């Protein structure tokens, strides 16, 4: 049979087989590359967020010291309506939950790191400022004053 | 007794296992770096606080944003794209104009005595203003400061301000910042102008 002949080692024409022994090594190399360069996805988003664009952006480094607050309209709008909602961790929250959320995040961390904590606001561009301002007032109350308005970079 | 040549373990499935792990990490991780506008909120006011001394009108650059995403800058309707130039002129006050902010002499490292303007930018938005406009305004104002700082750094040190920040030239950065301090004050929100 012609097909079987193609794979047999003792093929008459003597096509040398390519060794695949190094394939696992290559794949492991790729694996480690991705493990090192990426971070775990923080949460499953329940709100739709299209970030606004800005030019004067700064990089938010030290991801371990950042807490995220998401504000946008729910992605399952037939279930949750279309008005803007706040998402903390994996669930919807009310404005008054923001303070306890920040306190809880602080309690998880080392005391020395608390002044370095930054809150990143990921807000949909269509959101009205009312809810954003309320969240900001809550943050002020719990002294979480370092803030980053998450944006995409606009390329000129 | 163990045999002299132990049977070889078939390693051909190793690649499959590694691929599986690789795909798992590709799916569960993200690569994007977080970018954003860094701001500092003012600390909460103590309940009984004496009123701060009033700031002269000429020292305040008033930016109002309404629920229809229109901007009122110093009493005039303005487009977002013109905001940067207006803010730059206000902050710098190159002609020592009477209606633009006052200046006072300040001792600054590297520069000696410099006339620093007493500018404050006041930003007020409505509860119905869109977040997009808010970010655009914040961005334009930050751009105005950054451009002025860049121009100054180019004049004085021959490198841009961003480069100074990247190179961690803290003393020079501090000097430039004290000449063009970023003072953006956000008023408590108002609910006017419908939805």
Strand partners, B65: B71, B125
B9 in a structural domain: no
Residues A10-68 have pLDDT tens digits of: 555 677 888 877 888 888 888 888 888 777 766 788 899 898 998 888 888 777 788 88
pLDDT at residue number A98: 92
d(CA B87, CA B93): 10
Are A32 and A52 found together in one domain?
no
A74 and A148 part of one domain:
yes
Question: Which pLDDT tens digit goes with each residue over B103-151?
Answer: 888 888 888 888 888 888 989 888 888 999 999 999 999 999 999 999 9
Chain centre distance of CA A90: 12
Work out whether strand A39-40 and strand B29-30 pair parallel, antiparallel, or are unpaired.
Answer: antiparallel
Number of domains comprising chain A:
2
| A32 and A51 part of one domain | no
Same domain, A78 and A100: yes
Q: Within this chain, do residues A82 and A129 fall inside the same structural domain, yes or no?
A: yes
Q: Say whether both A33 and A65 belong to one domain.
A: no
pLDDT confidence of residue A66: 87
Residues A51 and A86 in one domain: yes
A58 CB contacts (<8 Å, ≥6 apart)? A148, B35, B36, B37, B38
Instruction: Identify whether the C-beta of residue B93 lies closer than 8 Å to the C-beta of residue B100.
Output: yes
In total, chain B counts a number of residues equal to 195
Residue that has been written with the tokens 């590297």 in this structure = B110
CA dist A33 and B22 (Å) reads: 10
| C-alpha–C-alpha distance, residues B22 and B20, integer Å | 5
CB-based contact B125 A145, cutoff 8 Å: no
| Rg of chain B over all Cα atoms, to the nearest angstrom | 27
pLDDT bracket for residue B189 (50, 70, 90): low
Determine, yes or no, domain membership for A42: no
For residue B108, list its beta bridge partners: B112
Q: A78 falls in which pLDDT band (50, 70, 90)?
A: confident
Does a structural domain hold residue B133? yes
Structure tokens at B114: 């410099």
Question: Are A140 and B44 in contact (CB < 8 Å)?
Answer: yes
Does the residue B8 lie in any domain? no
Tell me which residue of B169, B137, B164 sits closest to B153, measured CA to CA: B164
| Least Cα separation, residue A12 to chain B (angstroms) | 25
Residue A52 shares a structural domain with residue A12: no
Chain A residues within an 8 Å CB radius of B37 = 54, 56-58, 148-149, 151
Q: Could you give the number of structural domains in chain B?
A: 1
Range of the domain at A143: 47-153
Percentage with pLDDT > 70 across chain A: 90
Q: Torsion-angle region of residue A18: left (phi > 0), alpha (psi -120 to 50) or beta? A: beta
In this structure, the answer to whether residues A76 and A109 fall within a common structural domain is: yes
Q: A34–B26: do the CB atoms touch at under 8 Å?
A: yes
Q: Which of B37, B63, B71, B144 is the best residue to mutate to test the A interface, defined by the most A CB atoms within 10 Å of its own CB? A: B37
Domain boundaries, position B95:
57-186
Are residues A73 and A93 located together in one domain of the fold? Answer: yes
* B7 contact partners, CB below 8 Å, separation of at least 6: none
**At A69, is the pLDDT very low, low, confident or very high (cuts 50, 70, 90)?**
very high
Regarding whether A54 and A119 lie in a shared domain, the answer is yes
Q: Please tell me whether residues A13 and A61 are part of one structural domain.
A: no
Query: Is residue B34 situated within a structural domain?
Result: no
* Of B30 and A138, the one with more pLDDT: A138
Distances from the Cα of B101 to the Cαs of A78, B77, B174, in angstroms? 53, 21, 22
């Amino acid at each position: 049979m012609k097909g079987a002949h193609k794979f047999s080692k003792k093929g008459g024409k003597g096509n040398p087989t390519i060794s695949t022994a190094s394939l696992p090594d290559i794949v492991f190399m790729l694996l480690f590359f991705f493990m090192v360069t990426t971070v775990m996805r923080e949460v499953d988003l329940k709100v739709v967020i299209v970030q606004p664009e800005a030019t004067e952006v700064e990089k938010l480094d030290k991801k371990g010291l950042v807490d995220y607050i998401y504000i946008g309209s729910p992605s399952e709008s037939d279930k949750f309506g279309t008005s803007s909602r706040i998402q903390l961790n994996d669930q919807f929250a009310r404005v008054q939950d923001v303070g306890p959320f920040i306190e809880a995040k602080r309690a998880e961390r080392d005391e020395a790191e608390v002044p370095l904590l930054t809150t990143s606001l990921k807000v949909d561009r269509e959101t009205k400022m009312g809810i954003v301002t309320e969240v900001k007032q809550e943050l002020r109350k719990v002294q979480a004053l370092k803030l980053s308005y998450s944006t995409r970079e606009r390329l000129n | 007794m163990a045999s002299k040549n132990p049977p070889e373990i078939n390693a051909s499935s190793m690649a499959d296992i590694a691929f599986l792990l690789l795909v798992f990490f590709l799916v569960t991780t993200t690569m994007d770096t977080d970018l954003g506008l860094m701001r500092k909120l003012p600390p909460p006011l103590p309940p009984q606080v004496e009123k701060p001394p009033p700031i002269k009108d000429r020292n305040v650059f008033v930016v109002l944003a309404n629920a229809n995403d229109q901007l009122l800058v110093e009493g005039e309707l303005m487009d977002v794209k013109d905001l940067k130039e207006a803010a730059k002129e206000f902050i710098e006050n190159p002609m020592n104009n009477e209606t633009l902010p006052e200046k006072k002499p300040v001792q600054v490292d590297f520069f000696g005595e410099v006339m620093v303007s007493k500018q404050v930018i006041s930003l007020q938005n409505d509860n119905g203003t869109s977040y997009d406009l808010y970010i655009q305004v914040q961005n334009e104002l930050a751009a105005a400061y950054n451009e002025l700082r860049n121009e100054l750094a180019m004049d004085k040190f021959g490198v841009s301000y961003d480069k100074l920040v990247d190179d961690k030239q803290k003393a020079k950065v501090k000097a430039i910042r004290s000449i063009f301090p970023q003072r953006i004050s956000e008023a408590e929100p108002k609910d006017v102008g419908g939805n």
